[in-house]
Amino acid sequence: MVSGVKETRRDKVFLICNYIYVFLAFIIVFYPVVYMLSASISDPKYVGSGEMWLLPKGITFEGYKRVFENSAIWTGYGNTILYTAIGTLVNLAVTLPAAYALSRKDFVGRNFFMGMFMVTMFFGGGLVPSYLLIKELGMVNSMWALIIPSAASIWNIIVSRTFFQSSIPKELQEAAQIDGCTNMRMFVKIILPLSTPIIAVMALFYGVGHWNSYFSAMIYLNDAAKYPLQLVLRQILVLQEMAAQGGGAMDMATASALNNKAEVAALMKYSVIIVATLPIIAVYPFLQRYFVQGVMIGSVKG
């Protein structure tokens, strides 16, 4: 606030309302986080019955202990990190050049290519044809099945294209050309260094996407040792539901087994979620400043 200017009554009312509003918004966002944290160290009995609603009750670290002892979770963790790292690199290597090329007004066939890209935003092959394609490409049960088909997101290409168009002055590119700079060199030496915000944003978009995805892993991977973290997590959570449904023909051993699993799942559920989300939460604050810059510049000025 600029000092010296006296706040009017209306300003004050506005300010108070603003604080109340922001505070409420904060509570809404913050409550689930606290709930998760508390639930992860509470006795599942209290979580299930709703007695634990804010602060932990019947504190137990058994859930975390189980998580740290569970080797599937750690293999999953390793896989997710690997897929996220490689996947994001591939995404960037594909998205940025494509976006830059499309941002150049002197690029012949620009509208045609853009049109072709747009088509894929609205039409897809469907699950079975996609599966057949991946299978024929020999990518089933390999990490490339998770990376190559989603290498380019049109939405992200458009966001980056808008960034290139609006934040990098055309004059700069012309000047470089006059000095004898090639397109390739211009892209690598001039455009990229000027584009750190959008690179960071793209890395975050794609990275979070890879981190959270489980569907293609579920469809294409057959080998449990290759499962990413989210799939392991899903397995733990869904098994609990299955135990509840029971039904069908079950023998006693099966029933006891499922019940056993359900109890373990109730115990582990929240701790796994915490462990699985933590890295993203940890990375976000560092990328956040680019985030605001990158997306805002890209979208508003476009």
Partner 1 sequence: MMKLRKASSVLLCLTLATSLLAACGSSKEGEKAAEGGNTTEAAKDVKKEGFPIVSQPLTLKMMSQDAGQADWNKMPVLQEMEKLTGIKMEYQLAPVDSYETKKNLVFASGNLPDVFFAADLKPAEQVTYGTQGVLIPLDPYIDGGYAPNLKKVFDEHPEIRKSFTTPDGHMYALPYIDLSAVWYRGPMWYNGKFLKKLGMTELPKTTDELYTYLKRVKDEDANGNGKQDEVPLASVKLDDLRMYFLGFWGIYGEAYYADKDGKVHYTPQEEGYKGYLTFLNKLWKENLLDHETFSQTDEQKKAKGKNNQVALFSDYFPYFTLGGEPSEDNPLMTPVKSEVAGSPVYGKHPGISARGTFAITSSNPNPEATMRWVDYLYSYEGSTLFNQGPENLLWKFKNKDAKEKEWLPVPGGGDREEYKGTITPNYGILTPGINMSEVTKGLRSSFDDWIDKENQEKLVPIARSPFPNVYLTDAEQSEATALLSDLNTYVIQMEAKFVTGQEPLSNWDKYVAQLKKMGSDRIVELYQAAHDR
> To the nearest whole angstrom, how small is the minimum distance from the Cβ of residue 29 to partner 1?
25
Candidate residues 248, 282, 285, 300; the one interacting with partner 1 per rule CB under 8 A: 248
Q: Where are the beta strands (DSSP E) in the chain?
A: none
Residues near 203 by beta carbon (within 8 Å), at least 6 away in sequence: 88, 92, 287
179 touches partner 1 by CB under 8 A:
no
Which parts of 118-147 interact with partner 1 (CB under 8 A)?
119-120, 125, 127-128, 130-133, 135-138, 140
Q: Applying CB under 8 A, what is the total number of residues that bind partner 1?
A: 83
81 touches partner 1 by CB under 8 A:
no
> To the nearest whole angstrom, how small is the minimum distance from the Cβ of residue 1 to partner 1?
48
Candidate residues 8, 251, 282, 285; the one interacting with partner 1 per rule CB under 8 A: 251
Please give the C-alpha separations between residue 91 and each of 111, 177, 276, in angstroms, as whole numbers: 22, 28, 22
Cα(24)–Cα(245) distance, rounded to whole angstroms?
Answer: 38
Candidate residues 5, 222, 285, 300; the one interacting with partner 1 per rule CB under 8 A: 222
- Following DSSP, what letter does each residue of 175-198 receive, concatenated? HHHHTT--HHHIIIIIIHHHTHHH
Which parts of 84-123 interact with partner 1 (CB under 8 A)?
94-95, 97-98, 100-102, 106-109, 113, 116-117, 119-120
224 touches partner 1 by CB under 8 A:
yes
The closest alpha carbon to 95, from 148, 154, 167, 140, belongs to 154
Residues near 167 by beta carbon (within 8 Å), at least 6 away in sequence: 194, 195, 297, 298, 301
Between 26 and 95, name the residue whose CB sits nearer to partner 1. Answer: 95
> To the nearest whole angstrom, how small is the minimum distance from the Cβ of residue 86 to partner 1?
14
Which parts of 4-63 interact with partner 1 (CB under 8 A)?
44-50
Which parts of 258-297 interact with partner 1 (CB under 8 A)?
258-262, 266
Between 158 and 201, name the residue whose CB sits nearer to partner 1. Answer: 158
Q: Which stretch binds partner 1 (CB under 8 A): 32-40, 196-204, 223-231, 288-296?
A: 223-231
Between 4 and 247, name the residue whose CB sits nearer to partner 1. Answer: 247
> To the nearest whole angstrom, how small is the minimum distance from the Cβ of residue 212 to partner 1?
17
The closest alpha carbon to 153, from 95, 100, 87, belongs to 95
Cα(45)–Cα(60) distance, rounded to whole angstroms?
Answer: 11
> To the nearest whole angstrom, how small is the minimum distance from the Cβ of residue 9 to partner 1?
47
The closest alpha carbon to 160, from 87, 109, 93, 85, belongs to 93
Residues near 48 by beta carbon (within 8 Å), at least 6 away in sequence: 266
Cα(221)–Cα(150) distance, rounded to whole angstroms?
Answer: 15
